[in-house]
């Protein structure tokens, strides 16, 4: 990796850390647009999972006061089942069609949410939460974007920003952990990937620290808008894959 490529890698790592610290998800969305130009897809996926486990774990620790494990557990159980099925289904399902369909729905939801600031909160039980966790894991295994479904679900409940993050961040960590185990078992994590991880780690940590500081200054309305914008971008890049910008 030459100096320019290294600079791009480190800069994207820093911005990804800020985004995750601020919103609690979407690091993969931010860094992939740069990393896929200078790294292989397997390296990109491995690094996103490795960094996500670290920064999400820190975010979970910071928000531990808002945890309700009875509330979180159904999502985690559903996600742990959904991720392997989604990963395995890649062999049989054309992910391009799935990405396009999900991307359009995400954009429609985000635009609607931005245009109509107040939504009536919904109420659901453990069975619905387990189903959402499963769908979240399934989509994460198929597309690599873990967390999108449960993030929307938390918004629809109308929970406070701390409660939302205290639910979807442990769910995202579980999805990435299962994915990392599957990826590691396949032998995809190489020594070059480990070296890149170590190089980018200080930038990710510094960005995460800054993002958490900014998060503390957000009110509920601003947090909701940031989530909707990130979901809109997630939908856009599902419909228009990163390869189109190469």
| Rg of the chain over all Cα atoms, to the nearest angstrom | 17
Task: Identify whether the C-beta of residue 239 lies closer than 8 Å to the C-beta of residue 107.
Answer: yes
Instruction: State the pLDDT at residue 204.
Output: 93
Rounded to 10°, the helix 161-185/220-239 angle is 30
198-222 residue pLDDT tens: 999 999 999 999 988 888 888 888 8
155-196 residue pLDDT tens: 888 888 888 888 888 888 888 888 778 777 767 678 888 999
Residues 6+ apart with CB under 8 A from 45: 144, 183, 188
Instruction: List Cα–Cα distances, 24 to 2, 63, 94, 196, 218, in angstroms.
Output: 31, 11, 29, 23, 13
Instruction: State the pLDDT at residue 81.
Output: 92
List, in sequence order, the alpha helices (H) in 90-125: 95-115
Q: Which regions in the chain score pLDDT beneath 50?
A: 245
DSSP state of 26: -
Instruction: State the pLDDT at residue 95.
Output: 60
């Amino acid at each position: 990796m030459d100096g320019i490529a290294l600079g791009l890698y480190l800069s994207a790592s820093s911005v990804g850390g800020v985004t995750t610290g601020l919103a609690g998800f979407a690091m993969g969305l931010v860094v992939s647009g740069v990393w896929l130009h200078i790294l292989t897809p397997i390296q990109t996926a491995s690094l996103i999972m490795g960094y996500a486990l670290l920064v999400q774990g820190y975010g979970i620790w910071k928000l531990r006061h808002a945890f309700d494990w009875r509330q979180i557990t159904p999502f985690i159980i559903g996600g742990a089942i959904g991720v392997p099925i989604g990963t395995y289904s890649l062999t049989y399902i054309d992910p391009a069609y799935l990405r396009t369909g999900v991307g359009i729905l995400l954009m429609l939801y985000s635009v609607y949410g931005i245009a109509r600031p107040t939504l009536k909160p919904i109420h659901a039980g453990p069975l619905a939460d387990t189903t959402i966790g499963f769908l979240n894991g399934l989509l994460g295994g198929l597309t690599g974007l873990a967390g999108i479904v449960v993030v929307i679900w938390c918004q629809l409940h109308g929970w406070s920003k701390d409660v939302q993050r205290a639910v979807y961040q442990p769910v995202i960590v579980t999805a990435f952990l299962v994915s990392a185990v599957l990826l590691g078992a396949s032998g995809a994590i190489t020594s070059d990937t480990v070296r890149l991880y170590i190089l980018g780690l200080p930038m990710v940590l510094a960005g995460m620290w800054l993002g958490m500081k900014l998060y503390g200054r957000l009110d509920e309305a601003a947090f909701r808008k940031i989530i909707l914008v990130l979901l809109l971008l997630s939908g856009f890049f599902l419909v228009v894959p990163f390869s189109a910008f190469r």
